[in-house]
Amino acid sequence: MGCSGRLYALPWLVSGAVLGGLVQAQDPLKASQTYALVIGINNYRPYPETPGLPPLSFAESDARKMAQALRDPNKGRVSKVRLLLDTDASKTAIEAELREFSRRLAPGETLIVYYSGHGMPNRAGQPSMMPSDAKINDEETWLPLTELQALVKSESEGRGRLLLIVDACFSGRSQPGSRSFALPGRKDAPRPQTLIPLGGDIILASSSDTQPSWEDADLGGGVFTTYLLEAMSGKGDANGDGLVTVGEAHAYAAAKVEEFAAARGNTQTPKLYGPEGYALALNPVAVGKRRLAALKLGGYLSGEQFDALAAWVERARQPEDLRFYLGGYLTNTQFIFLADAGAIPGVPADPKTDWRLRQVGALRQAGKIRLEQFWSLAAMIQSGRAAPDLSEYLAGKLKETRFLQRLQAGAVQGVPR
């Protein structure tokens, strides 16, 4: 965030305008750390002596989207996310990342592992993910999910929990358009074992043991991941408490996936193994409205301002300053100042606010100045030491177009270009 350094550097914002009794909204997600290893493999390493694994279309993009959702301060709020794609997702690399994250885990902390790619049951029937360098005729190059769980438990010494999210299938049968394949020469694939989480761990699987997991070009991704991400956007928050638990996410995604697959003559039934109450994501709409409601209740937003901001929260595209606030880059004080100055599109200014601040706020609302420029201009007005260009503009002696030209050229003293 390019302007975040300046946001907290203005003394008149952090001391002179502190709002007594207003408490920053608490994060409804647990305070403990969460880490995530996100893996997506479209293209597998070819070997001249053995047939290669068929490429996938959307595993990599699914992983990118999941990593973005987990990092999002308004959704997953994961403190550290590591993304491994295609050739970077070798078995050695995956195990190294698992060890590193697992050793960091403290009691109450969580490691999320997301995998999108091919799956296969080994000869013992253990569902296995296929790293990018896997050989289809060498099970030592595969990574059984039981071994993955055991590695995390061993390296973490039993601390924390593992949430394993798998968008792959382990049926051992080739079905075009799915994330499954059959081993050449193997007539009957062993029936995959049912996934069993260890201890308090959780497994969220894209399909049942013997079903395929489908990709879809119209959706632009795996069917399961598409609807899981939709659940994590807030749509899965069934009880409206501001959190999307794994149970709620599974229920939402499962209903959508089953409906989507059935409409195309397919079957796919996502499964959840383990506790359902873990909070996977925030519901950004519910949480955003609660934060705004607290400001209104404290008398810091008018009813008209609250209504306008609440309407923005429900939209996919929001004004930059509102996104900064909901993402934690603006304090309550700073955000209220922006709202009262009329700097946020569609949000009425407080008529009691200094008219000069409202005039500068109108420039910000129209997108004619950046946030750091607004802060600099507002600080000048508050201090009573406005640059000559600003004074002339406010007095009507300098036209707006000329003022903006000088501003963007860096010619207004004390204001970044």
Structural domains in the chain? 4-22+298-408 (no CATH), 34-282 (3.40.50.1460)
pLDDT < 70 regions, the chain: 1-32, 171-192
Query: Which pLDDT value is given to residue 1?
Result: 33
Query: Which pLDDT value is given to residue 14?
Result: 35
Query: Which pLDDT value is given to residue 80?
Result: 94
Mapped onto helix, strand or coil, the DSSP state of residue 29 is coil
Query: Which pLDDT value is given to residue 15?
Result: 33
- The tokens for 231 are 């659940």
The tens digit of pLDDT for each residue in 86-132 reads 999 999 999 999 999 999 999 989 999 999 999 988 888 899 999 99
- Compute how many other C-beta atoms are within 10 angstroms of the C-beta atom of residue 102: 21
Is the whole-model pTM more than 0.75?
A: yes
The tens digit of pLDDT for each residue in 256-308 reads 999 999 999 999 999 999 999 999 999 988 889 999 999 999 999 999 999 99
Q: Exposed/middle/buried for 355, CB within 10 Å: 0-12, 13-18, 19+?
A: exposed
- Compute how many other C-beta atoms are within 10 angstroms of the C-beta atom of residue 272: 19
- Compute how many other C-beta atoms are within 10 angstroms of the C-beta atom of residue 189: 19
